[in-house]
A and B are shown apart, each in its own frame.
Chain A
Amino acid sequence: MNTKAFRFARVGAAVTSLALVGILAGCSSTPSSSDTPSGGSSPSASAGGTYTLWDPYPDRDASSTWAAAINACASTLGITIDRNSGNTGDTVKDLTTAAGNLPDIAMVDNPKVSTLAAAGLLTTTTDNGLDTSKISPNILSAGVIDDKTYGVPVGANTLGLYYNPTVLADAGVDIASVVDYPSLTAAIKKVVAAGHKGITFSAVGTEEGTFQFLPWFWGAGADLTALDSTQSVAALTLWTNWVKDGDAPQSVITNTQGTSWDEFKTGDFGFAENGSWFQGDADTAGYKVIQIPSMSGGAAAPAPTGGEFITIPIQTDTSRYAMSSKIVECLTEGDAGATALGYVAPTADGAAAQVAANAAGANQFWVTAVGDAKPRTADNLGIKYPIISEQLYTAIQLALSGGASPTDALKAAQAAAVKNIG
């Protein structure tokens, strides 16, 4: 019996190692040096040629409205667009390793544009002739580094403060009373006192954690160049106390935005910080949303913009840029692309059309919220942003888990950020 088990293990190992060899071989195959994506392999290649587009939406298959929006542009322009979907987190990796054989168009998460631009992977609007005059400046600024524009947003999403009217009514909380941090905390405490759960959000140790923290951070008046400022400490103390006092569950430390939303949908939570992409879901469940308040009231806190940029990576054959620009313009004008993705359109016309149609995630509320939002890489942070963000989410994790006080965690984060930026 033992020899049998042993042989079994060996055969299994042999099979898996063969599989692994196959994978490795696939990875290490050098990209072909020919820079013209061949139309030969695609039988439906139109006269205009084939252009490749990478997007990070593997969940949107060929029958999705997003794929339809791409195909509509392809047929308008008389070309074939070869769409290739990968995982969001891998786009930067994929693009850098594909250097020399880059796609004509690549869609990347907006805070990563500056990193790719700094690596010399992307063309500027001067190179590719793209017209960005209609794009809303506050969304576009994530792609602007030292006055050069490296791409245009396909649309934008942002964060809001969802609430469950049933729970709030039960706890006797009037949503109109929530105007600043103290009144929000008071409302949460009332909800908890009524036997419900307070607020859920995502403070996970990744970029998502920073993304969710930024409204509170900016709403307190803090600045990403000084993580240890008193405003920053105030914002993190707000979150830390929520967790410490049981107003927010322990799980926020490991929650992604998706799991946080699942928690909220149990129907027992009073509040949830989450994105415009859940508006459709919220409508079905009867949840409402307000903008996240700032620390001392008045204007709402600026939330960060999310969403991808459409960029045109460098090509040896520069004559391809003209058509690539047309594709980008087609995908960003109007609201077809943005609506398909559940984003607020990047142009005023597109957003107006969405408001008129009351599109999910792009109704009047979210269009206003995106108008008030600001990109994470703004303030000319550019490639410094990812470094700062990493330290910020580490500090959030430390403080929320009780590993360090907000003051100490942020002090260490600022020191590490300064050191790593150099």
Chain B
Amino acid sequence: MTEGPLPRNGSDVIDGTTGEAAAQAAASPPARKETARSAAWKAQLAAWAFLTPMVIYMIAFYLWPLLRNLDLSFRDYTLGSFITGNAKFNGFDNYVKILTDPAFPTALRNTFLFVAASLLFQFSIGLALAVFFHRNFPLSTTLRALFLVPWLLPLLVSASVWAWMMNSDSGVINYFLQTIGLHPIYWLTSPTWSLTAVTVANIWIGIPFNLVLLYAGLQAIPEEIHEAAAIDGASKSQAFWRVTFPLLRPVSAITLLLGLVYTLKVFDIIWVMSLGGPGNSSMTLAIWSYRLGFGGGSPQLGPAAAVGNVLIVIAFIFGIFYIRAQRRALRS
């Protein structure tokens, strides 16, 4: 239930540490006559000693599960396989099965819409709020703290509350719509609206994350630059679009990428609110993977792992885009 900030900062911390350790290893002193050799060797040893726990941790908790999942996706793994320990290797059968399944285009489309709409609104609302709070005014700290509430609530609670509010018959949202003379919307019980409903809830949950990161990014922009721009006669909007926004680009990029990786795998909100339904109408790849593996029916662990790997590949591709964009930015 704590996934929110976890993967982002989790990987962040790891990168930092390995980076430092590597730097340490690289910084082993250049040969300095007799003692230098053993000193260098000692430094090497120490470097490895520092690295080992991290390497073991990475292998045990990241690499191994990833490889297992990859292996699983190429096997016909049934419940019986748990007992016998054997699962027949079936090549790309699982991948063929999921890619030709009529549910695949639906899940892919839903995932795309869910992620795109979530990122667009989370980012723009988060940025607007960050800019708003950047001009410190009385009570701004308290107000900003309030905006963090969605982040602090367990996802299960947030999702349940949204599901209640969006209840077709007795939800407060429909009550409101009817009082102002509109037709009620069957948020979670109509295939036309269910994806929108879960996306709205996800946007609400993701705003604080964007707000915090972008606010921190804004604080890091020196005030003098704004002053200089003002002296040069830049209008408020010019100052924002020509100065603030470009300077915020690195922070924006990391916020969007982390948001993307997180949103791609969102499961709990959708599962609690709609189970991916009605039918498959709000089923994303993450939901589909769970349904295949543990949902109804009989467990299809191979295909479920294959869907999971498709998700990882998608996240990986965007990760590469990000790294390339960052390199280009560094070079220029």
Q: B225 an interface residue at 8 Å Cβ cutoff?
A: no
Choose among A1, A253, A394 the residue that contacts B280 (Cβ–Cβ < 8 A): A394
CB atoms of A205 and B189 under 8 A apart: no
Q: B82 an interface residue at 8 Å Cβ cutoff?
A: yes
Q: A44 an interface residue at 8 Å Cβ cutoff?
A: no
CB atoms of B216 and A5 under 8 A apart: yes
Q: Enumerate the 3 nearest inter-chain pairs by beta-carbon distance, A residue then B residue, closest first.
A: A119-B79, A13-B9, A401-B278
Q: A121 an interface residue at 8 Å Cβ cutoff?
A: yes
Within 8 A of B (CB), among A195-226: 204-207
**What chain B residues lie within 8 Å of A6 (beta carbons)?**
212, 216
**Residue of B at shortest CB range from A14?**
B13
**What chain B residues lie within 8 Å of A386 (beta carbons)?**
296-298
Q: List 6 A-B contacts (CB under 8 A).
A: A24-B61, A120-B80, A205-B278, A249-B168, A254-B277, A387-B297
**What chain B residues lie within 8 Å of A99 (beta carbons)?**
82-83
CB atoms of A10 and B9 under 8 A apart: yes
Q: A70 an interface residue at 8 Å Cβ cutoff?
A: no
Q: B29 an interface residue at 8 Å Cβ cutoff?
A: no
Within 8 A of B (CB), among A403-418: 403-404, 409
Q: A2 an interface residue at 8 Å Cβ cutoff?
A: yes
Choose among B78, B82, B212, B279 the residue that contacts A5 (Cβ–Cβ < 8 A): B212
Choose among A1, A120, A390 the residue that contacts B296 (Cβ–Cβ < 8 A): A390
**Residue of A at shortest CB range from B152?**
A12
CB atoms of A206 and B294 under 8 A apart: no
Q: A116 an interface residue at 8 Å Cβ cutoff?
A: yes
Q: How distant is A113 from chain B, measured CB to nearest CB, in Å?
A: 12
CB atoms of A204 and B275 under 8 A apart: yes
CB atoms of A115 and B278 under 8 A apart: no
**What chain A residues lie within 8 Å of B188 (beta carbons)?**
253-254
Choose among A13, A120, A401 the residue that contacts B190 (Cβ–Cβ < 8 A): A401
Choose among A204, A254, A383, A398 the residue that contacts B191 (Cβ–Cβ < 8 A): A398
CB atoms of A9 and B275 under 8 A apart: no
Within 8 A of B (CB), among A85-114: 92-93, 96-97, 99-100
Interface string of B266-300 (1 = CB under 8 A from A): 00000000111111110000000000001111110
CA distance A92 to B189 in the complex (A): 29
**What chain B residues lie within 8 Å of A121 (beta carbons)?**
79, 83
Q: Which of A2, A10, A16, A20 has the most CB of B within 10 A?
A: A2
Q: B5 an interface residue at 8 Å Cβ cutoff?
A: yes
Q: B2 an interface residue at 8 Å Cβ cutoff?
A: yes
Q: How distant is A402 from chain B, measured CB to nearest CB, in Å?
A: 6
**What chain B residues lie within 8 Å of A318 (beta carbons)?**
none
CA distance A80 to B281 in the complex (A): 50
Q: A389 an interface residue at 8 Å Cβ cutoff?
A: yes
**What chain A residues lie within 8 Å of B120 (beta carbons)?**
none
Choose among B6, B13, B84, B298 the residue that contacts A120 (Cβ–Cβ < 8 A): B84
CB atoms of B168 and A389 under 8 A apart: no
CB atoms of B212 and A20 under 8 A apart: no
Number of residues from A at the complex interface, CB < 8 A: 53
**What chain A residues lie within 8 Å of B215 (beta carbons)?**
2, 5
Q: B111 an interface residue at 8 Å Cβ cutoff?
A: no
CA distance A120 to B78 in the complex (A): 11
**Residue of A at shortest CB range from B61?**
A24
Contact A20-B296, Cβ < 8 Å, known A5-B212, A253-B189, A254-B189: no
CB atoms of A403 and B169 under 8 A apart: no
CB atoms of A401 and B281 under 8 A apart: yes
CA distance A83 to B220 in the complex (A): 57
CB atoms of B78 and A397 under 8 A apart: no
**What chain A residues lie within 8 Å of B6 (beta carbons)?**
13, 16-17, 20
**What chain A residues lie within 8 Å of B322 (beta carbons)?**
none
Interface string of A111-134 (1 = CB under 8 A from B): 000011011110000000000000
Supply 15 further A-B pairs (C-beta < 8 A) apart from A5-B216, A250-B168. Answer: A2-B219, A10-B13, A17-B10, A21-B61, A97-B82, A205-B277, A251-B167, A387-B297, A390-B296, A393-B296, A397-B279, A401-B186, A401-B279, A402-B191, A409-B279
**What chain B residues lie within 8 Å of A5 (beta carbons)?**
212, 215-216
CB atoms of B79 and A96 under 8 A apart: yes
Q: A33 an interface residue at 8 Å Cβ cutoff?
A: no
CA distance A97 to B299 in the complex (A): 13
Q: A282 an interface residue at 8 Å Cβ cutoff?
A: no
CB atoms of B216 and A394 under 8 A apart: no
**What chain A residues lie within 8 Å of B276 (beta carbons)?**
205
Choose among B163, B186, B294 the residue that contacts A93 (Cβ–Cβ < 8 A): B294
**What chain B residues lie within 8 Å of A207 (beta carbons)?**
296
